[in-house]
Amino acid sequence: MPLIVVGVLVLLAVSFGIYKVTQKPVEVAEETTAKKKTTIRNYNAIEVAERPYITINPVDSRNLSIIIGEVKKEAEVVEYELEYQTGTLVQGAFGEIDLGTLPASEKILLGSCSAGGSCTYHENIKGGELRAFFEGSNKYDLKSDWKYFENTNKETTFGSKDAFFKIKSEDLATNRLLVIYNSPGYPGELEGTLVSEIYTLTSSASLSGTAELTIRARSEGDLTIMGWDGTEWQSFETTVDGKSATATVDVLEAYVVTSK
């Protein structure tokens, strides 16, 4: 057999042997990949009555505050992910809040700053989602929506991201920045059965005046709109149309619908 042919056969044999030897690392890579699994979160699994009361408050055009007002199911710390849309992009802020003293809060910059101190600020913010991971004596994960308003045109009507909450008031026209947030829990103790989401209304200025408010409940029945004034719940005379509850209310921090 010519030497050239023998050489080719030997080269092929050696190459085949190397190929067989080098196949195993592919299996190792697959095993490594399999280990990198994203943590699966079981959001909003605890009862509403056990959830913390949280608000998102606009401070000024460049900052928000997350405020943990009450924690009904004990925890020592909460890690948060605040996601929001700014123009066509999605931005986020991450951090941790110690729950040793309540209310506890964290101020969040709506932008970013370099190590040298140069900052850029996000514009055309629409709102987004807050994810909160409570740790310590108990562990539970919560997420809910929020909507941001830069009221440059002195609007008087505002709605929640889920479109089930609508408030109209001439007294809100002078409020420059507003947030409507679906809080995971409610403050204090409620009379009756909660049959709606918990909506908070916060502003960079003081809230005052009256408003026409409509909230869509989860079920029909003898519905009443309740408002939290920072100390206690107030009930308002409510008109009911199916699952829709409407009332003239004081402009307050939080609202729900209850059923007897």
For the stretch 63-115, pLDDT in tens is: 999 999 999 999 999 999 999 999 899 999 999 999 999 999 999 999 988 88
27 within some domain: no
* Structure tokens that stand for 183 in this block: 């809080």
160 within some domain: yes
Rg of the Cα atoms in the chain: 27
Distance of CA 90 to the CA centre of its chain: 13
Full domain range(s) for residue 234: 48-259
Residue 31 has pLDDT above 80, yes or no: no
12 within some domain: no
Counting residues of the chain whose pLDDT is more than 90, the rounded percentage is: 80
Q: Give residue 24's pLDDT band: very low, low, confident or very high (50, 70, 90).
A: very low
Q: What is the pLDDT of residue 248?
A: 98
Q: State the average pLDDT for the chain.
A: 88
**CB neighbours (10 Å) of residue 96?**
12
35 within some domain: no
- H or E segment and range at residue 156: none
DSSP code string of 84-145: EEETTEEEEEEEEEE-SSSSEEEEEESEEE-TTS-EEE--SEEEEEEEEEEESSS-EEEEEE
Task: Tell me how far apart the alpha carbons of residues 130 and 102 are, in angstroms, rounded to a whole number.
Answer: 19
Q: What is the pLDDT of residue 164?
A: 98
Residue 169 has pLDDT above 60, yes or no: yes
What is the reported pTM?
Answer: 0.84
Backbone torsions φ then ψ of 161, nearest 5 degrees: -65, -35
39 within some domain: no
Q: Burial of 68 by CB count in 10 Å (0-12 exposed, 13-18 middle, 19+ buried)?
A: buried
Q: Give residue 38's pLDDT band: very low, low, confident or very high (50, 70, 90).
A: low
Picking from 5-19, 52-66, 245-259, which range would have the lowest pLDDT averaged per residue?
5-19
The owner of tokens 């964290």 is 106
Stronger pLDDT, 253 or 10, i.e. the higher one:
253
The answer to whether the beta carbons of residues 258 and 223 sit under 8 Å apart is: yes
Residue 210 has pLDDT above 90, yes or no: yes
143 within some domain: yes
Task: Tell me how far apart the alpha carbons of residues 245 and 236 are, in angstroms, rounded to a whole number.
Answer: 11
Backbone torsions φ then ψ of 14, nearest 5 degrees: -65, -45
5 within some domain: no
43 within some domain: no
- H or E segment and range at residue 247: strand 244-250
Residue 9 has pLDDT above 60, yes or no: no
Number of domains observed in the structure of the chain: 1
